[in-house]
Structure formats: C-alpha cells, structure tokens
C-alpha cells in the first residue's frame, strides 16, 4: 500500500477534538489527532484538523485545498467531524438523517453526503484510504449520554436534530468505509470511570485559589488526547484494515504520570483588572449608552462568545443564548451575557426593568437565568471559569426569583415558578445607604450591609443579564441616582 515506495502519510481532518491548540489553560486543550503519531510506526501524521469547523465549513479552508493537493496513493485519511455539524447555523449545520445518496442544500445539507462527497470520494479518487471516526462524547456531569453529550440532538429553529454518531456508522456500512467508533469507546470509558475520574481526561481552563476550575467537557487535555488516540489505535488494529499494518506494537496506554505532565507549568492565576473605558473598546457587542455589553465568566471558552447575542432595539435590550450546547448559567459559578453599567460604590439609586421571555431552548435547566443584577466585579468578554464573586439579583435562577451570592455561596431567597416563553416579570433593585432592596413581581426583600467590595472596592456593576438557552427582552428600563452614601 505504499504507492511510490515512500512512507504513507496519515492525513487527519476534523474539528477541535482532533486539532492542535496553543492556549494558556491550566490543563491546555489537545485534540487527539496530535497524539496519533505515538501509536503509528512507519507512517507520518499530517494533522489538518481545525477548531470550530464542521464537515461543511472545513471545505472553505486552505487546509482542505492542502488535503486535496497532498493525498497520494497509499495514504490514509482520518475523518473526524460531528461536534460542529450539530450547530444550528447555516455556515456549519449538516443534517444527520438523510442517507449519503441524498445531498440536500442549505439547512438540508446531509451530514453523510457531505462526508462521502468531500472526503471519502476525494481520498478514493487519489488512491488513498478513508477512515471515518465517530465524534468523542462530551463529558456529562450526570453520566447521561442519551442526548447532546452523545451527539443526539433535538430539532429546533427550523433545523432537524438526530444522531450524528449513528449517521457516521451508517455511512461506513453503506459505502464500505472503515469506521472507528469513538463515540461508543469514550462513552464506555466515561461510564466505567465515572464523571470525576473521567474529568481528568479533559481541559481545565484555570485555577481559583489553586483549585482547578473551568472544566471543559468538550475538549481533551494532552493526557486525555493520548488516551483517545490509544483507543483509536486499538480499534484500528482490531479492525484489521490496511492501516492496521502501521499500528505500533505493543500498544501501551499513557500512564498516570502523563496526567501530571499535562499541566501547564507556565500557568499563572489571572488577577482582576478594574473596568476602564480603554478596556471597554475591546468589547464585541454594543455599547448601548449608558450600557456596555459583555459576555463573561464560565461560558465554555472565548471561541463560544458569539454563541451569545446582545442587541438594542429602540430603548429595549435583547440578550440571548440559544446555542446547540447550552452555555454559562448562574449557580456554583457564573457565565452570562450582560448589558452592564458601572456605578460608583457610594451612589444610591433605583433601577427597574420588565423582562419578557422571547424563547426558551431545550437546554434550559436549573442553571439558566435572567434578570437584573448588582455585582462586585465585571469582565470584558472574558472567559473566566470559577467566577463566583458577590452579587444580588432579581429575576429567575434555578426556581428562585430573588437570589444572591456571598462568599462563594449561591443562595435563593424567594421561590418562583418559571414563566416560560411569552411570560413577563418586573424586576427592581434599590440601594439606600447600606440597604439593598430586591423586588420581583411583588416579592420584595431587603438586605443590610451586603458585601459588594470584596473584589472591586471602587465600583459596582448593574447588569441586565441572561444565560443558558433563554432569550429575553428587557424593556421599560429605568435607572435613577437618588443620592450619595458611603459603604460601612
């Protein structure tokens, strides 16, 4: 199978779960494509995988042209898409349901047809051998892989959901292509290990007081990437296909020491930088004077920032997150989009708004939230895992209409039933000296001497916010300064 007597090349295409990264995480991201070479002998890996791409969007990249120009007889093409084909947006979405013989266009573009026409056929036309890989699972805190964590997506927004791993397996069977079922392999490993141990395979964005935070349930760290590459190599060897002749022997999995070695020795915990007008110039959304717009906290990584949206419609502000994979939330840590207003720490004020729920996604859960918040600190489009600084809020979060966090602990102060799409609630926050009064649809509560100086002693930040599969319109927004005070 060596064609012109050169060593074969193993080309790799796919998304971020296979690609190389360069980041400053505590446990940096590594795609498993970067680790395949350690389990191959006599073959060279050419990893062309790119973060954020689907089988459709990859076609417009220079790496796709490089693939077509480089493939030679006797080479191999490892194909690993699926994570981003699920994204319900026209640039990346492909439909998992049609057979590979049904092409479709636009939203109806078939996942199997896209893989077959643009990768399987391209390889075969050049005398190379394609190998399909089903996507690795996303780590589920509940060990539940029956839904999006197992790449089985719901329909919504005019897009069909379906089972992306099954689509790859079906294509392999129907078109006679070797399939490495990494969905089943990683699912079995995660269920065997349990969530806590399986999380050691994944990237962690940072630390908070030395404790890892910001678990990335999609992306692997170097240790996890090596484990998946090992599982891939075992499957290829067991399959007995042409590439099996190049699998190294014996196959030895990475040991526990490699987990320690995966930690970024250069990592340093970030320090809080107070808000300035200069920093505001880098913001992606807005401003909507007197409001600025930002996405902050634990929302999955900077590459997911545009899965949120913030816009002004006249005097109203609309904030949404309806991404395929729910992002952010309020609870143990914060991750949300907000229109925010910096306030001097010694100003008394009244603020109010009406919240209209425009849409609720299938991923709406106990961490989904929206409302009016007064908080201790603000971050300018920063991915900051473990964000759990002090705030008071009125709106909705986990069955609560009034809720706070102090000293790292989230606490609901008044229960509420979620109003659902089309529902409206009125929210308000008032400060009079050392008293903070919260109000949500007639429920009111006063707090005294609440600490909003633990991080940023000079300013507080008033936020209209939303997170995690909810879209909210904020209208009748009022803010009035009522005097000066001092913090006690």
| pLDDT tens per residue across span 44-70 | 999 999 998 999 999 999 999 999 999
- pLDDT beyond 70 at 3: no
pLDDT at position 292: 96
- Residue pointed to by tokens 């008033």: 462
**How does residue 133 score in pLDDT terms, banded at 50, 70 and 90?**
very high
Query: How many Å apart are CA 118 and CA 127, to the nearest integer?
Result: 15
- pLDDT beyond 90 at 90: no
Q: For 207-223, b where at least 16 C-beta lie within 10 A, e where not — what string?
A: bbeeebbbbbbbbbbbb
| Domains in the chain: ranges and CATH | 9-261 (3.40.50.1110), 277-484 (2.60.120.200)
pLDDT at position 338: 97
Q: Greatest CA separation found in the chain?
A: 83
Among 78, 77, 81, 157, residue whose Cα is nearest residue 124: 77
Mean pLDDT confidence for 339-368: 93
pLDDT at position 486: 54
* Dihedral sign from CA coordinates of 281, 282, 288, 292: negative
- Residue pointed to by tokens 């717009």: 293
Among 352, 350, 318, residue whose Cα is nearest residue 337: 318
- Residue pointed to by tokens 């129907």: 174
- pLDDT beyond 50 at 488: no
Question: Please, are residues 56 and 114 in contact by the beta-carbon 8 Å criterion?
Answer: yes
pLDDT single digits (tens) 292-336 = 999 999 998 888 999 999 999 999 999 999 987 889 999 888 999
Which parts of 27-105 fold into alpha helices (H)? 62-70
* CB neighbour class for 42 (10 Å; exposed up to 12, middle 13-18, buried from 19): exposed
Query: How many Å apart are CA 476 and CA 353, to the nearest integer?
Result: 5
Mean pLDDT confidence for 166-174: 98
HSE (side-chain half, CA atoms, 13 Å) at 77? 29
pLDDT at position 4: 58
pLDDT single digits (tens) 91-132 = 899 999 999 999 888 778 999 999 999 999 999 999 999 999
pLDDT at position 6: 81
Query: How many Å apart are CA 101 and CA 121, to the nearest integer?
Result: 13
pLDDT at position 39: 98
Tokens representing 3 are 């064609």
Question: Please, are residues 403 and 372 in contact by the beta-carbon 8 Å criterion?
Answer: no
pLDDT at position 480: 97
Q: What is the DSSP track for 292-353?
A: EEEEEESSS-GGGGGGEEEEEETTEEEEEE--SS---BSSSS-EEEEEEEEEETTEEEEEEE
- pLDDT beyond 80 at 139: yes
- pLDDT beyond 50 at 261: yes
HSE (side-chain half, CA atoms, 13 Å) at 336? 30
Percentage of residues in the chain having pLDDT higher than 70: 99
pLDDT at position 306: 92
- pLDDT beyond 50 at 1: no
pLDDT single digits (tens) 367-420 = 999 999 999 899 999 988 888 889 999 999 989 999 999 888 899 999 987 778
Among 423, 421, 88, 471, residue whose Cα is nearest residue 308: 471
Among 331, 209, 211, residue whose Cα is nearest residue 271: 209
Q: What is the DSSP track for 151-212?
A: TEE--BTTB--EEHHHHHHHHHHHHT-EEE-HHHHHHHHHHHH-HHHHGGGEEEEEEETTEE
pLDDT single digits (tens) 174-225 = 999 999 999 999 999 999 999 999 999 999 988 878 888 878 899 999 999 9
Query: How many Å apart are CA 328 and CA 299, to the nearest integer?
Result: 4
* CB neighbour class for 244 (10 Å; exposed up to 12, middle 13-18, buried from 19): middle
Rounded to the nearest integer, the mean pLDDT of the chain is 93
What are the beta bridge partners of residue 393?
A: 373, 403
Mean pLDDT confidence for 79-88: 94
């Amino acid at each position: 199978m060596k064609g012109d007597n050169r060593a074969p090349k193993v080309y790799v295409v796919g998304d971020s779960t296979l690609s190389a990264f360069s980041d400053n995480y505590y446990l940096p991201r590594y795609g498993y494509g970067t680790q395949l070479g350690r389990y191959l002998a006599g073959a060279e890996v050419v990893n062309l995988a790119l973060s954020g791409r689907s089988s459709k969007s990859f076609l417009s990249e220079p790496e796709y042209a490089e693939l077509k120009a480089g493939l030679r007889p006797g080479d191999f093409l490892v194909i690993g898409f699926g994570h981003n084909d699920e994204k319900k947006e026209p640039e990346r979405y492909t439909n998992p349901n049609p057979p590979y013989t049904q092409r479709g266009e636009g939203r109806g573009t078939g996942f199997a047809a896209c893989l077959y026409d643009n990768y399987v056929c391209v390889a075969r036309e050049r005398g190379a051998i394609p190998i399909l890989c089903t996507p690795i699972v996303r780590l589920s805190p509940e060990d539940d892989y029956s839904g999006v964590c197992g790449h089985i997506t719901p329909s919504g927004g005019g897009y069909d959901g379906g089972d992306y791993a099954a689509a790859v397996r079906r294509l392999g069977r129907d078109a006679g292509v070797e399939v490495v079922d990494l969905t089943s392999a990683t699912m079995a490993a995660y269920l065997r290990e349990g969530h806590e141990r399986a999380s050691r395979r994944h990237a962690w964005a940072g630390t908070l007081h030395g404790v890892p935070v910001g678990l990335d349930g999609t992306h692997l760290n170097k240790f996890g990437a090596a484990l998946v590459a090992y599982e891939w190599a075992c499957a290829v060897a067991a399959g007995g296909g042409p590439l099996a002749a190049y699998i190294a022997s014996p196959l030895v999995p990475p040991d526990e020491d490699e987990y320690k070695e995966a930690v970024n020795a250069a990592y340093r915990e970030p320090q809080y930088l107070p808000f300035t007008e200069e920093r505001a110039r880098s913001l992606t959304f807005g401003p909507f004077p007197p409001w600025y717009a930002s996405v902050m906290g634990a929302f999955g990584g900077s590459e997911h920032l545009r899965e949120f949206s913030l816009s002004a419609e006249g005097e109203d502000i609309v904030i949404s997150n309806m991404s395929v994979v729910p992002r952010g939330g309020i609870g143990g840590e914060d991750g949300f989009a907000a229109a925010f207003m910096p306030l001097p720490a010694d100003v008394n004020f009244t603020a109010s708004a009406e919240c209209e729920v425009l849409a609720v996604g299938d991923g709406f859960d106990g961490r989904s939230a929206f409302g009016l918040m007064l908080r201790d600190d603000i971050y300018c489009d920063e991915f900051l895992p473990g964000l759990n600084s002090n705030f008071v809020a009125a709106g909705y979060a986990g069955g609560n209409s009034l809720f706070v966090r102090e000293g790292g602990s989230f606490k609901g102060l008044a229960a509420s039933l979620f109003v659902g799409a089309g529902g409206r609630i009125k929210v308000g926050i008032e400060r009079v000296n050392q008293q903070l009064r919260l109000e949500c649809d007639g429920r009111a509560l006063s707090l005294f001497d609440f600490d909003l100086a633990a991080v940023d002693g000079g300013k507080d930040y008033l936020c209209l916010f939303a997170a995690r599969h909810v879209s909210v319109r904020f209208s009748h927004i009022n803010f009035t300064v009522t005097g000066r005070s001092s913090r006690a």
